[in-house]
Structure 1
Amino acid sequence: MNLSRMLLQRENDGDPVRVGIIGCGKFGAMYLSQARLTKGVHVVGIADLNVARAKETLAHIGWEPERFAASSFDEAEKSRSTFVTEDSAALINNGGLDVLIEATGDPAAGIRHCLSAINHGLHVVMVNVEADVVAGPLLARKAELAGVVYSLAWGDQPALIAEHVDWARTCGFTVVSAGKGTRYLPTFHQSTPETVWDHFGWDLEVVKRGRLNPKMFNSFLDGTKSGIEMSAVCNATGLTPQPDGLAFPPCSRFDLAEVCKPAAFGGTLTHSGTTEVVSSLNRDGSEVPGHLQYGTYVVIEGETDYARYCFEEYQMLPDSSFRFASLYRPTHMIGLELGVSVASAALRKEPTGSPVTFNSDVVATAKRDLKEGEVLDGEGGFCVWGKQTPARRSLDEGYLPLGLAQHVKLKRAVPEGAPLRWGDVDIDSDDDAVKVRREMEAMFAAPNA
């Protein structure tokens, strides 16, 4: 709870935390809107493939023109301004950073940037959870060996859920389940960028004002982002996925302990110590009253009669038996909160969540009947969605990770609903992301790796 004071001290000492960010999309823009107001933080550089668009975004979020007028990294450091460039390698290599934020959303790019940052002694805040679920356990291990921090992004739901789990365990509770809310119906697995706004429930003016990317937001709707985020949570906390992945039961924020407990106790889960995402919609499409669409939660077990009495006495959102109780956060502020990760990494050398094991994977699953010769278009697209799957099963069956299901051609047809396998696609074994993934599989395939 002292991060703001520590940052203020850095400001007063004239030694702010020096930050670079790659990717000036929605998440990056949200962080940058607050970074300009945070004492003790200096955004030295921003790398984006479209510099003109990045600068227009900075103006849109409230940055004064002089704040991003630097013509070089040296000028940016001397003037406490920001240099905007398309050269991500130059940003990492310039030698003036403490923390790199990777916010591209591209798994291959994220892995490449992360490895380079680690090699240059930088702490990494991995907004790019798509990269994290492809190779995060390996990246975190490499960061640890190099003496730097690899961190999930505070404000994004995986880091917040990991904090819920840490809170529960620190208090001596058994974690029964942890997760988040979303808007879900089974038919959404077939959603495409062309249909996403029909299902999302947002006015098109909100979409336009927010400059929202239909492909990215479709990944939230079609179940992919839920699979990605819950896999990140499992790998950061040691929780294990359910055998068939997420079931998305309809649930209000007040019924979490009743619904998200094991079936043996009247709930919906296959076992204790897992993840689940609850839907804000009933299966008939009606809205669940008091839903948790944008929030996060944890369900705990009271293992003594005394603890259960306390659940009842203090109205700790218990189930009907008072054996289980829940804690929830009603919303999350995405990039607006990312400064917590930056400060924690730079000042405390602590991540806000980091993968420690490989328990869960995200498997590319056919949205429709796919034909031989089709080129897959990745997360949120027209071809596949990402399903949470136990890592052991994914490895044993040779399933294709969702993060590698982009710009690759199908060698054979795959029916709707079927998981794709490595052998179904033309994979470039020399691709850096593929090699890192294979290295991660080899390192963590053995039990207790």
Structure 2
Amino acid sequence: MILVDTRLKQRADSGNILKVGMIGSGEMAKGMINQIINHTPGMTVACTYGRSADKVKSVFDSLGLTQYLLTNELEAAETAIAQGLYVITEDIDMMCALQSIEILVESTGAIEFGAETLLKAFKNGKHVLSFNAELDSTLGPILYKKAKEYGVKYALGDGDQPGVTMNLYRYVKSMGFTPLVCGNIKGMQDRYRTPDTQKAFAASWGMNPVMATNFADGTKISFEQSCIANGTGMKVAQRGMLGFESTEHVDKLTHLFDVERLKELGGIVDYIVGAQPSPGVFVYATTDDEFSKKYLKYGKLGDGPLYSFYQPYHLLFFDIASSICRLMDFDDGVLVPINGPVVDVITVAKRDLHPGDLLDGIGGFKTYGLCENHDQVVTENLLPMGISEGCVINKFIPKDEVVHYSDVQIPDGRLIDELMLEQLEINKSVMIKV
């Protein structure tokens, strides 16, 4: 963002440094810390939370950032930040209470913890940028509503596919075209991958095997496309999306989609496995303007009726600083829900499930997630993948069958279940009977 680099330089020159709190210490959080502290003027990561302070310390040490203080004491943390030290803490409540922190970045991928933390942040007057598509897909609409009620800002960040796609969607729409497909390009997909099959790959990248499984079994892309749907109003053409496979360039694949059906649905979110350029994103759009059609053809975009726009990469944490600045200084959230849920991610059996089985959630051994239109989810009383962890199966469910609320016993006392019920009221949906 060209405006952002100018604004951050102005912050640096005036000494008005934007102080960020980082939640998490995984590989993505490490990348964000490195990007902000070592490569972004006018911004710093003043405090980082992790369940293990030693793990956070190892992140800072590996990045050559040794001027830090480990503390769970509010006054000591404020003093350290004022002195230019980086604070590391195991106390999320203390972090949310820090007056010197303006915005928190949530990067854990956790649902219950993430929801609890965001509400604490909102109540403490903290803005939040999320790098947690799983949480945003599951509870983004109600969290966005809560943020507005507390007078703070909340958005999903740039860098991962949802934010990159939304940037492209807005760009295409700003030229007067009508986006009809927001697409993601995947290199592979296997619904039945597990943390055991992904262990070696995960280790090679310093990644948690559960996270690697989330990518491989299609659950992650379902969450990502759900976020885009909730931010645009687009739907899915069928349960699980169409998910075409092709090794061709996305420019050559517009024929795969029925334009009239796309228009009936108001556009769709989807993905293609094996296409080029990988790992990019694309938007297929149309126009009725004959003058525009003439010069789209002149620009080598073809004869329509669908025109292909794409970005050949997504840059993960490299884009996080611009996301923060856009939200804080320009009130421009990269991706926010437009109302209530439009597309949810539902729970599907990865293997036969039996009474007494404890569901292990996202990236586990027992289930995977698929996109489904929200109205259908409500009608069938389907269990959202984002709240499946910890639920106990009460009947036999064959492999590849969906899981309903009535098929499980939900743990008592979870915040996410309360928020889910509140979220259903946003667009006056029929209440799911939990």
TM over 0.5: yes
Question: Amino acid of the residue matched to residue 194 of structure 1?
Answer: D
Asked if 1:360 corresponds to 2:355, the answer is no
Contact 1:130-1:228 within 8 A present in 2 as well = yes
CA displacement, residues 47-87 of structure 1 (integer Å, 9 cap, x when unaligned): 00011111112222x23212x24654223321222111111
Residue 47 of structure 1 is matched in structure 2 by 49
Distance in structure 1 (CA, Å) of the matches to 2:227 and 2:356: 32
Distance in structure 2 (CA, Å) of the matches to 1:312 and 1:246: 30
Q: Secondary structure at the match of 1:387?
A: strand
Asked if 1:324 corresponds to 2:306, the answer is yes
Residue 359 of structure 2 is matched in structure 1 by 376
Contact 1:240-1:274 within 8 A present in 2 as well = yes
Q: Secondary structure at the match of 1:165?
A: helix
Contact 2:233-2:266 within 8 A present in 1 as well = no
Distance in structure 1 (CA, Å) of the matches to 2:123 and 2:64: 31
Shift of 1:215: 1.1
Asked if 1:230 corresponds to 2:234, the answer is no
Distance in structure 1 (CA, Å) of the matches to 2:255 and 2:149: 37
TM-score, with normalisation over the residues of structure 2?
Answer: 0.92
Distance in structure 1 (CA, Å) of the matches to 2:107 and 2:428: 28
Q: Secondary structure at the match of 2:147?
A: helix
Residue 115 of structure 1 is matched in structure 2 by 119
Q: Please point out which of 98, 101, 105 is paired with 2:105.
A: 101
Asked if 1:340 corresponds to 2:335, the answer is no
Asked if 1:275 corresponds to 2:272, the answer is no
Question: Amino acid of the residue matched to residue 277 of structure 2?
Answer: L
Contact 1:152-1:352 within 8 A present in 2 as well = yes
Question: Amino acid of the residue matched to residue 278 of structure 1?
Answer: I
Shift of 1:148: 1.8
Contact 2:233-2:338 within 8 A present in 1 as well = yes
Question: Amino acid of the residue matched to residue 411 of structure 2?
Answer: D
CA displacement, residues 290-329 of structure 1 (integer Å, 9 cap, x when unaligned): x23311111111323332222221112x3xx432211111
CA displacement, residues 262-295 of structure 1 (integer Å, 9 cap, x when unaligned): 3367x99995611111101xxxxxxx5xx23311
Shift of 1:105: 0.8
CA displacement, residues 67-118 of structure 1 (integer Å, 9 cap, x when unaligned): x246542233212221111111110012221111111111111111111111
Structure 2 counterparts to residues 5-154 of structure 1, below 5 A: 5-37=6-38, 38-60=40-62, 62-66=63-67, 68-69=68-69, 71=71, 72-154=76-158
TM-score, with normalisation over the residues of structure 1?
Answer: 0.89
Structure 2 counterparts to residues 151-170 of structure 1, below 5 A: 151-170=155-174
Question: Amino acid of the residue matched to residue 9 of structure 2?
Answer: L
Q: Please point out which of 305, 325, 328 is paired with 2:290.
A: 305
Contact 2:21-2:105 within 8 A present in 1 as well = yes
Q: Please point out which of 405, 411, 416 is paired with 1:428.
A: 411
Q: Secondary structure at the match of 1:36?
A: helix
Q: Secondary structure at the match of 1:96?
A: coil
Residue 200 of structure 1 is matched in structure 2 by none
Distance in structure 2 (CA, Å) of the matches to 1:379 and 1:56: 26
Distance in structure 2 (CA, Å) of the matches to 1:193 and 1:430: 28
Distance in structure 2 (CA, Å) of the matches to 1:142 and 1:257: 43
Higher mean C-alpha deviation, range 19-28 or range 237-246: 237-246
Q: Secondary structure at the match of 2:125?
A: coil
Q: Residues 251 and 259 of structure 1: is their aligned pair in 2 closer, same or farther, counting only changes over 3 Å?
A: farther
Residue 285 of structure 1 is matched in structure 2 by none
Q: Secondary structure at the match of 2:409?
A: coil
Residue 283 of structure 1 is matched in structure 2 by none
Distance in structure 1 (CA, Å) of the matches to 2:272 and 2:106: 28
CA displacement, residues 120-151 of structure 1 (integer Å, 9 cap, x when unaligned): 11111111111111110111112123322111
Q: Residues 268 and 241 of structure 1: is their aligned pair in 2 closer, same or farther, counting only changes over 3 Å?
A: closer
Shift of 1:254: 3.0
Distance in structure 2 (CA, Å) of the matches to 1:305 and 1:55: 59
Contact 2:350-2:400 within 8 A present in 1 as well = yes
Shift of 1:338: 0.8
Residue 216 of structure 1 is matched in structure 2 by 211
Shift of 1:424: 1.3
Q: Secondary structure at the match of 1:59?
A: helix
Contact 1:149-1:350 within 8 A present in 2 as well = no
How large is the Cα RMSD of the aligned pairs? 2.1
Question: Amino acid of the residue matched to residue 212 of structure 2?
Answer: F
Q: Please point out which of 278, 281, 289 is paired with 1:293.
A: 278
Contact 1:278-1:292 within 8 A present in 2 as well = no
Q: Which runs of 5+ in 2 are unaligned?
A: none
Percent of residue pairs identical: 23
Q: Which runs of 5+ in 1 are unaligned?
A: 198-203, 281-287
Residue 284 of structure 1 is matched in structure 2 by none
Distance in structure 2 (CA, Å) of the matches to 1:410 and 1:209: 34
Q: Secondary structure at the match of 1:444?
A: coil
Q: Secondary structure at the match of 1:435?
A: helix
Higher mean C-alpha deviation, range 149-158 or range 241-250: 241-250
Question: Amino acid of the residue matched to residue 236 of structure 1?
Answer: G
Shift of 1:428: 3.0
Q: Residues 175 and 211 of structure 1: is their aligned pair in 2 closer, same or farther, counting only changes over 3 Å?
A: same
Q: Secondary structure at the match of 1:377?
A: coil
Q: Residues 136 and 268 of structure 1: is their aligned pair in 2 closer, same or farther, counting only changes over 3 Å?
A: closer
Residue 240 of structure 2 is matched in structure 1 by 245
